[in-house]
Homo-oligomer: A and B are copies of this chain.
């Protein structure tokens, strides 16, 4: 049994919905479907979710919202008409939108999340109706019915363990099930959404709960690239990678997946396949727990900007038990999350995402460090970028660091920071943001284009 998730571009219009039902029907094991909200049909188009968020804001502010409401209604109704479905489907979607609007008007905080979820909910209603229309037995399954129980947490819901057992019961259903992504319900029955892009999370949770043999994630690319195609033109594609590789790549800027989306699937060791709705016969990229060949190759290069370095120095810091802990305590007190904390002998750096330390908070943090830790110096360096090279076993492979360092040298880029040794599958480099592209291009050349280093570094059989 396969769980299949379709992203926003795969349900953006009637044509796309027709395509995905063909994909579903072409493989009888594709039994449980998770859908995103309709995405952009063309570059300047607006995603349904953005329209819904906009609508919610207008209603909260008591402003005129008829225009936006009309756009949402038109998009759903034109799809329904094109697919030859009955007006019934729109009535159901409309009821949910109107119900959410009423909640907002009553000042119920749940209203905004409920309205935001109407895009995915509408997609699921549409797709299940169209499958039935084509003669494939199918049901819409609400996340509450499916058993997706979550903890309500600022910025995004967190799935609760009990969900998985409940989800497993869906295996007894005979028809094809279509579940809207992006939201779940608290044990008290309150609708809450995951963080943005949360349909990937739903898909991963459902695949884990159902112990699927495969979780297929359909998007609009043939496979995952080994490096950001905005930085390197036409880069190599990855046929396979491990969960850990994917997780590290996602962290540092790989946009295929939401950072944590795959974790529920990882935990259950469900293989994941990234495929293209517009080219379903392409093999896609497989993401699995383990790969048999582990030659210590670099399989991907991820990069991200927007970091800063908080540097402190103090004579004899290294003799002061608790110094590092107290520095991190100050950050924690101020609600600042840090990424890494490399230390020297009399100095220590803390690498943060820049958004964690707006100017106002920076002043407070710096003052507290001066006052409470009596440091000799504290300094903030912004506009840092992180580059991560990733590959199973590479940290036990002699020469990877050497090749990487040579790539930076050839690019004329100074390495501001190296963090290696904790993760077995990655090596992290800090550079000034303006050097990012040059450095990544040079690394790509070194690890993916130079035949002398390794032949065919990305294709591995499994």
Interface residues of A (CB under 8 A from B): 247-248, 251, 260, 263, 266-267, 309, 311, 315-316, 318-319, 321-322, 324-325, 328-329, 331-332, 335, 337-349, 395-399, 401-402, 404-406, 408-409, 412-423, 426-428, 430
Contact = CB atoms under 8 A, between A and B. Distances in A.
18 contacts: A260-B316, A260-B319, A321-B332, A324-B341, A325-B329, A328-B328, A345-B426, A349-B422, A397-B414, A399-B409, A401-B409, A402-B402, A402-B408, A402-B409, A405-B406, A417-B422, A419-B419, A421-B430
A344 B422 contact: yes
Contact of A316 (B263, B412, B413): B263
A319 B341 CA distance: 15
A420 B426 contact: no
B414 A420 contact: no
Contact of A421 (B398, B401, B408, B416): B416
B325 A332 contact: yes
A340 B337 contact: no
Nearest to A413: B398
Given A247-B345, A335-B321, A408 B401 contact: yes
Nearest to A252: B345
Contacts of A338: 324
A348 B338 CA distance: 13
A399 B260 CA distance: 36
A424 to B, nearest CB: 8
Contacts of A318: 251, 339
B311 A347 contact: no
B420 A415 contact: yes
Contacts of A408: 398, 401-402
A402 B406 contact: yes
A295 to B, nearest CB: 14
A438 B178 CA distance: 61
Counting chain B CB atoms within 10 Å of each CB, the highest count among A342, A396, A409 belongs to: A342
A324 B415 CA distance: 25
